[in-house]
């Protein structure tokens, strides 16, 4: 039996007003493919339905929303196993894989599903769309030749400080950029930890709400960040702890 194809479908980066975002971040051919798929592996079903609702404004869905099957996968703690997820693929049905935001399998549990698809001889089809990490790196002016992504840094103070120092040392040694993300409500505490522990001339870029109207990208030295925070500058949004952000450091 011929196996189905696994399409890695990008999502918009913002949660609201996807209809207004989708036209300038999702290529039309990607929307056309998404509209034809009626079986999905998703990180969040509500988000996925919102995305497909926006897709429907560009190209009609092949089936009504209530007839589209969505199975949630949020990593090893999910109730369903990866092998069960890909059963339709093994039976010849094409499927879509969608993340909460941006590209699936990048800082996303979907990578385990993709790895299994390869093991089972299923064709994987990555589709073009926005990725906050690459957009932030592009906009930072930091090294695009040598960079590392760390996911989330440790939460506890001593462990976080040790990791931050280690990142700075590695960046200086290899002239590389280092990226990580943070749970929004910890953005301010992360920024404070960085300004208190890094060398004054180390460069730090904070990129938020990429591709959205509220997009904000600030790159300064740690010394300049300290001044900005002390002055309580209007450059920093009051809702800093409610907005997803990418941190980029280069020593």
At 212, which CATH number? 3.30.950.10
What residue ranges of the chain have pLDDT lower than 70? 232-235
Same domain (yes/no): 24, 92: yes
Same domain (yes/no): 157, 120: no
Same domain (yes/no): 94, 167: no
Same domain (yes/no): 138, 244: yes
Which of 71, 105, 126 represents a domain boundary (last residue)? 126
Same domain (yes/no): 34, 109: yes
Residue 37 is part of which domain span?
5-126
Same domain (yes/no): 110, 86: yes
Cβ-proximal residues to 87 (8 Å cutoff; 6+ apart), any chain = none
When divided into structural domains, the chain yields a total of: 2
Same domain (yes/no): 147, 242: yes
Same domain (yes/no): 194, 156: yes
Q: pTM of whole model > 0.75?
A: yes
Q: Residue 9: give its domain's CATH number.
A: 3.40.1010.10
pLDDT for 234 equals 56
Q: Contact 243/184 with Cβ under 8 angstroms?
A: yes
**Dist. CA 108–CA 99, nearest whole Å:** 7
Same domain (yes/no): 148, 76: no
Same domain (yes/no): 244, 137: yes
Give, in order, the Cα–Cα distances in Å from 163 to each of 150, 155, 156, 167, 170.
10, 10, 11, 6, 11
Share of the chain above pLDDT 90, in %: 74
Same domain (yes/no): 18, 104: yes
Which of 110, 126, 142 represents a domain boundary (last residue)? 126
pLDDT for 76 equals 76
Residue 87 token pair = 């059963």
Same domain (yes/no): 191, 232: yes
pLDDT for 89 equals 96
Handedness of CA 71, 75, 81, 84 (dihedral sign): positive
**Dist. CA 35–CA 63, nearest whole Å:** 8
Under DSSP, the state recorded for 100 is S
**Dist. CA 113–CA 97, nearest whole Å:** 9
Which of 64, 95, 126 represents a domain boundary (last residue)? 126
Q: How many residues does the chain have?
A: 251
């Amino acid at each position: 039996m011929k196996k189905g194809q696994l399409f890695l479908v990008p999502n918009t980066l913002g949660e609201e007003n996807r209809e207004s975002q989708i036209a300038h971040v999702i290529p039309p051919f990607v929307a056309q493919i998404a509209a034809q798929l009626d079986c999905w592996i998703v990180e969040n079903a509500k988000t996925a339905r919102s995305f497909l609702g926006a897709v429907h404004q560009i190209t009609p869905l092949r089936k009504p929303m209530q007839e589209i099957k969505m199975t949630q996968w949020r990593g090893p703690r999910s109730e369903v196993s990866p092998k069960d997820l890909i059963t339709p693929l093994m039976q010849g049905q094409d499927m879509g894989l969608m993340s909460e935001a941006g590209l699936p399998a990048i800082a996303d549990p979907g990578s385990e599903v993709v790895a299994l698809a390869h093991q089972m001889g299923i064709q994987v089809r990555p589709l073009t769309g926005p990725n906050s990490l690459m957009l932030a790196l592009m906009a930072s002016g930091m090294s695009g030749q040598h960079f590392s992504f760390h996911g989330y840094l440790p939460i506890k103070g001593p462990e976080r400080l040790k990791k931050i120092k280690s990142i700075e040392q590695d960046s200086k040694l290899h002239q590389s950029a280092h990226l990580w993300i943070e749970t929004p409500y910890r953005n301010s505490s992360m920024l404070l930890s960085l300004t208190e522990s890094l060398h004054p001339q180390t460069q730090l870029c904070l990129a938020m709400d990429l591709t959205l109207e509220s997009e904000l990208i600030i790159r300064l030295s740690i010394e300049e960040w300290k001044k900005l925070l002390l002055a309580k500058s209007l450059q920093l949004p009051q809702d800093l702890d409610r907005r997803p952000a990418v941190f980029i450091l280069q020593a």
